[in-house]
Structure 1
Amino acid sequence: MTDGLTPAEENEVLYEVRDRVARITINRPHRRNAMSRNTVRLLTEAFVEAGEDPDVWAVVITGTGDKAFCAGGDMKEMDDIARAGRQVHTPMTGTYRALLEVMLETYKPVIAAVNGHAIAGGCEIVLASDVRIAVEGATIGLTEARRGMGANFGSVVLPRLVPRAVAMDLLYTARTIPVEEARDLGLINRVVPRETFTDAVEAYVQEIVANSPVSLRRYKEMATKSWGLPMPSALRLNAGPNPYTSEDRAEGVRAFLEKRAPQWKNR
């Protein structure tokens, strides 16, 4: 995706489109899939590409291996930057859009396949996804306070997803919790045994892309842009493609009446 990189750096993020699904994989198992600056750049580019590709109807993000989904930022790289007398990146600044903002503004279903521990920035990637399916035995948490960092995205989003007192407890203590507990809090949708994890994620994603991509895009854009708006304003927002005047709506109704599977046109 980016010029001037070594083969290893180019492969820090894998990108594949198959069966209407963009599959984005953080591929740094030797670093527990921790994100270097290059990894973040490649992830951002991958989500932009998926968002702009009309043949992509949903996105899955996961990590390589069975140890970690993503261990957050690459601490070794951060220390090297500090020792060189330079400043690490501050969220929402600089020439690149924030990865997590791009994820929110990818107006297609984004599913986090949490194949292992999701810590700090890895937890934030999970929070930026729409649906989260996790493997049994994984943990999740925003540990930034232990490292003197800010969890800029997590500190804003987590209190919107769970009760404020619960969110502040997790932020203040910087503790990690089992994904089973996260499921009970509403942060994780499903927890699946490792032996059936890949198949369960695939079956779920195929269930999504069997539906109209126009409707899927409408749901994502309306849900994102209406977040925090008063109800009357949200209902009148009318964001995203209009499914009511789409060819897909006409096809969906006709397919129902004819008792057959719809042939979506994505328009």
Structure 2
Amino acid sequence: MSTIELEEGRVLYSMDGNVARITINRPERRNAMDTRTTAALVEAFVEAGADPDVWCVVLTGAGDKAFCAGGDLKEMDETAQAGRQIHVPMTGQLRNLFEVMLETYKPVIAALNGHAIAGGCELALSSDIRLAKAGSQFGLTEARRGMGANLGSILLPRLIPRGLAFELLYTADTIPVEQAQELGLINHVYSAEEYADKVEEMVQRIVRNSPVTQRRYKEMATKSWGLPVTTALRLNVGPNPYLSEDRVEGVRAFIEKRDPVWANR
């Protein structure tokens, strides 16, 4: 498994079979995202989305303290002290990181090796499946810092009851991942001893299935969100599994009682 360092090692990108593994590599800063880290994450997700050999993406953080502590407040303060304006979401030359993640039409797993706070929480919310290590904290703390949680303020009320979403947004409280799981924001919480094995088990359960079907699921689910059911059913986005070689192979493998060999087309 070869590893590519992006932005002087702030983000690590590696391929392991058909799995792209993206690691925020700033453990000394609790994996906080400065501008170069954010740019590297955009680059990594664009690469994973375009590579036909990538069937699943796993995002995690280095170390055992934090998945991601959000934006780098030290950098923001230095920018303000220099009389410059920090980046405003959905503006500028680069695509928004969370938008890129939502539009990566492959399964994206957030492996929360530690706390997911503020922008780190938004990274998790932008993923499809969230797996967490027990004892970690989860929450949008932007109101404590005068920030905006642009993505979180939109997604959170769509994922859980609005009253609960607003409580988390307004109070800026963090909650244990175990409580986040009860709210439906986390898929599974694992002990420190079983965490790594359980994440890998989930990854392998996903990549054994047809990548054509997975891409169809992701694109249909993303682009139909908010549409009436009758309209959504008439969308035709992403690869068509019904006309694919994978569909032929999947049926034949079932008949022949063997594992399918996917062509991804």
User: Normalised by the size of structure 2, how large is the TM-score?
Assistant: 0.97
Equivalent residues of 2:6, 2:40 under 8 A apart: no
Q: 1:242 aligns with which of 233, 240, 259?
A: 240
Q: What does residue 90 of structure 2 align with?
A: 92
- Structure 1 gaps of 5+ residues are 1-6
What is the CA-CA distance between 1:8 and the residue it aligns to? 9.0
Deviations along 1:178-213, one digit per CA (max 9) or x if unpaired, are 000000000000000111111110111011000000
**Do structure 1's residue 136 and structure 2's residue 134 form an aligned pair?**
yes
Q: How does 1:1-150 map to 2 (within 5 A)?
A: 9-150=7-148
Equivalent residues of 2:6, 2:13 under 8 A apart: no
Number of residue pairs aligned between Structure 1 and Structure 2: 261
Query: Partners of 1:47 and 1:9 in 2: how far apart?
Result: 14
Query: Partners of 2:103 and 2:192 in 1: how far apart?
Result: 30
Query: Partners of 1:215 and 1:9 in 2: how far apart?
Result: 33
- Structure 2 gaps of 5+ residues are none
What is the CA-CA distance between 1:112 and the residue it aligns to? 0.2
Query: Partners of 1:144 and 1:230 in 2: how far apart?
Result: 33
What is the CA-CA distance between 1:9 and the residue it aligns to? 4.2
Amino acid at match of 1:177: I
For residue 10 of structure 1, give the secondary structure of its aligned residue in structure 2. coil
For residue 11 of structure 1, give the secondary structure of its aligned residue in structure 2. coil
Q: 1:218 aligns with which of 213, 216, 222?
A: 216
What is the CA-CA distance between 1:238 and the residue it aligns to? 1.3
Amino acid at match of 2:121: C
Query: Partners of 1:139 and 1:60 in 2: how far apart?
Result: 20
Amino acid at match of 1:216: Q
Amino acid at match of 2:196: T
Deviations along 1:136-194, one digit per CA (max 9) or x if unpaired, are 00010000000001000000000000000010000000000000000000000000011
Q: What does residue 4 of structure 1 align with?
A: none
Amino acid at match of 2:96: A
Query: Partners of 2:183 and 2:68 in 1: how far apart?
Result: 21
For residue 259 of structure 2, give the secondary structure of its aligned residue in structure 1. coil
For residue 264 of structure 1, give the secondary structure of its aligned residue in structure 2. coil
**Do structure 1's residue 259 and structure 2's residue 257 form an aligned pair?**
yes
Q: How does 1:138-177 map to 2 (within 5 A)?
A: 138-177=136-175
Q: What does residue 3 of structure 1 align with?
A: none
Query: Partners of 1:212 and 1:131 in 2: how far apart?
Result: 18
Identity %: 70
Equivalent residues of 2:118, 2:142 under 8 A apart: yes
CA RMSD of superposed structures (Å): 0.9
Runs of 4+ in structure 1 off by over 3 angstroms are none
User: Normalised by the size of structure 1, how large is the TM-score?
Assistant: 0.97
